[in-house]
Each structure stands twice: as structure tokens, then as C-alpha cells.
Amino acid sequence: MRIYFSGIGGVGIGPLAEIALDAGYDVYGSDRQASPMTKSLQKRGVQISFDQSGDFLRSEHEKSPFDWFVYTAALPGNHPELVLAKQLGIKTGKRDELLAHVIADKKLKLIAVAGTHGKTTTTSMLVWAFQQLNIPASYSVGSTLSFGPSGRFDPASQFFIYECDEFDKNFLHFQPWLSIITSIDYDHPDTYPERADYLAAFRQFICQSQRCIMYQQDLNGLDIARDSGVTLDTIDKNAALDDINSLILPGRHNRENAYLVLTELKNSGVGLAEAKAAIESFPGSGRRFEKLADSLYSDYGHHPTEIKATLQMARELSDHVVLVYQPHQNIRQHEIRENYTAEVFNQAEKIYWLPTYLTRENPDLPILTPADLTKNLTRPEVHIASLNDDLWKSIMLDRELGKLVLCMGAGTIDEWLRQHLKI
């Protein structure tokens, strides 16, 4: 099967291209510019064009027809390659449709990690634990990993571990052998206009699973019938608190997510001591409280619940935490603006608040400014900032004063940091 990936350097598409390559499919692709992912794929012999006019797609299709054109939800409907692929009669689909095909084609058991918060770290932790326990597994994680590629197909595996995202209802393409639900809050208002829509999607996803591990506190609001067909393994978070806190990992939310992984490992017959040792040696994943330099961390979080949890983890390392925050998506800010409270930020002693990173926006909504979003914050002190030299100097000064600087956001903030650090 010949597959063309548009946006092959992206965090979602790139790992899928690696998986397709490992699984024996012919892989081609394009992107707007080179990236570590495109360079890695090119080293493996993948032909990639950085001209997305459609010329490369057409010329390669004429040599030997493509079976599938894979693209992300971010690709506009009038994108030249997508329009051309449809004209040429190539099957088009988003990444999860192809991944579901690969899992079925290779007869793998899908272990899907879903939830509003903590998906990436929990998926990465599960992959790491399987590796430490010598259990072969294929996988896909929506972030960089320090211990391997973001996506991998292992011919010896019977399992596929996948970070299953609810955005664009992607996770509803799958019928997992096991689903692990990290948390259920509310997010992605562009996909789910109401909280009830969001909960309904999770209810459907869980009922599409054969088994599910989750906290009872998250299950309570879903109204899943006893005869739904899914085997539920629920954990009372309060009753299990001592066991959760016995895990030697930074961050309360990390320990809670790790306990879900531990539960599945024990269910699979792994001894408690061996399972804990594998989990507690976890080195972390990219953009999830990732240490970029001394006293400087980068995190992908962009929801009040994530901010609060990550600040709590930072305070386990330092009594003096400074937050640099870049909100993500104006449409999301209209939904969560009232959740930016002193309670969320009380573990920080100072905040540098950046303008919202804009993507997939509703043009009818007014752009909320940093002043709009911070009007309810009486503490800590808030400084309106921009990604410029003045902010970089402030970050360097805070580090020199012995403070831990945590930079959070899913937009351009991480790239900006790495450019300044030259990494």
C-alpha cells in the first residue's frame, strides 16, 4: 500500500508515517518546512517535498498510484494537495482512520489512553513500562520521547498502545481492547459546543471498548448502563490515595495517572514490585514538564486544570515558581475565562501572561486580551508580556535569583524557548 502524508512533519502525522514505514507500507509526504521529524524520515529513505502545490503528489501518483492520502484536521478543505487527491480519486482520510486500518490489518489489541488531561504522559509511561518489562508493543504518542521514536510498529507485538485524542471526535474511530481514561473534564468547545456533547462522546468511546480502567469519580457523571457490554475496572481515588502516593514520581496528577498504568500491569500478571520499579524509572516525555535548562521547564498544558496540576508539581521542586503562560485558541478562552482564578495560580509567585495563540478560530468571536483573561486574578502578581527580548531577560533574571521558571502553552512558546537556548 502506497500512502501520502500531507503535513508529515507534524506531531500526529509524523509518528503515523513512522508506523506505516515500519509496517511495510510505502511512505511519501510533504510539509511546509523541514523539521526533526522530516529529517528523521528522510534518513530512512522517505521522499518528502516542501512544496505543497500538488506537483509532487501528482508526479509520484503518475509513477505508481497512491492508495491513501492522509491529512490532519488542521488542513483546510481548499488545500491544493487535498483538492488534487480527491480529483485523482485517491482515498482521503485523517490519521486515525489509517491507524485503525493498520491495527485491524495487523490484528493488534488496542490499548487506548484517553482523557481530558494527562494522555501523553500516561501513554508514554505505559510504553516505557512495557519496554522495561520486555513486553513487545507497537505504539503512537503525540509528543517526542527521550527513549525512542514517537511512533513504532513492532512485528513481534500483539498490542498497540495509542494516545487516543477526543479532538474532532478522533477517538470514536476505535474499538479498544482496553481503554484507560485519565480524567474527564471539558475541553475542545470547537468540537463539543456543550459539556453534555463532550460527556456523550466519552460515554460512546468507553462503550466501544471491551474493558476500561478509570477513576470512579470520572465515571459518576457518564450514566453508563450496566448492560453496555464494557467491563469497567473502576478505582475510588480517595480510597486508593495511600497507594497512589506511594509511587515515587513528581506531581500528584502524575502519580494518579501512574496508578492507572500500575492497575493494568497488575491485571496482566506483573508483580507489584516489578511494575512499580518500571513505572518509577519513567524519564518523562517531551513538552510535559520537560527540563530545557537549569530551573527552566516547558509544558504543553493550556487548561486551568492542567495549569494547577503542573504548578503543584513544580512546587515539589521549588518554593519559588514563576509561570510564563501562553493561552491557546480564542474560542477556548471564551469557554474557560472564568476558570482563571487565584486558586488555579496560587502555587506561582508571579505570572508573565502572553497574548492567546490563535488557531482554528471562530471569526465572529472578539479576541480576548490578556487584560480580559486576568481580570479576576488578585494574586499572584501578573505581568502582561510578549515573546520578545524583554521577556527573555526577565526569565534569565528570575533563574539567576533561584526561581523555577515554568513556561506553558500549546502554541509557539516552546519553539521560542528552544531558539533562545539553541537546542
- HEC assignment per residue over 104-150: HHCCCEEEEEECCCCHHHHHHHHHHHHHHCCCCCEEECCCCECCECC
Give 272's DSSP letter: H
Angstrom distance (rounded) from CA 319 to CA 144: 29
pLDDT for position 379:
82
pLDDT of residue 159: 97
Report the side by side order of strands in the sheet with 321-325.
290-293, 296-299, 404-408, 321-325, 350-353, 381-384
Other beta carbons less than 10 A from residue 423's beta carbon: 8
pLDDT digits (tens, 9 = 90+) for 318-329: 999 999 999 999
Q: Does position 227 have pLDDT exceeding 80, yes or no? A: no
Asked if residues 65 and 2 have their Cβ atoms less than 8 Å apart, the reply is yes
Say what the pLDDT of residue 228 is. 87
How confident is the model over 84-97, as a mean pLDDT? 94
What average pLDDT does range 277-291 have in this prediction? Answer: 93
Mean pLDDT (whole number) for 229-258: 95
Residue 124 has pLDDT above 90, yes or no: yes
For residue 226, the model assigns a pLDDT of 75
Q: Percent of the chain beyond pLDDT 70?
A: 100
The reported pLDDT for the residue numbered 283 is 92
Mean pLDDT along residues 39-55: 96
**What is the tens place of the pLDDT at every residue in 294-342?**
999 999 999 999 999 999 999 999 999 999 999 999 999 999 999 999 9
DSSP strand pairing (159-163 vs 109-114): parallel
**Span 145-149, mean pLDDT?**
88
Question: Residue 102 pLDDT more than 90?
Answer: yes
For residue 90, pLDDT over 80 is answered with yes
Mean pLDDT of the chain: 95
Judged by average pLDDT, the poorest of 32-41, 193-202, 398-407 is 32-41
Q: Reply yes or no on whether the pLDDT at 171 is more than 80.
A: yes
| Confidence at 355, pLDDT banded by 50, 70, 90 | very high
pLDDT at 10: 86
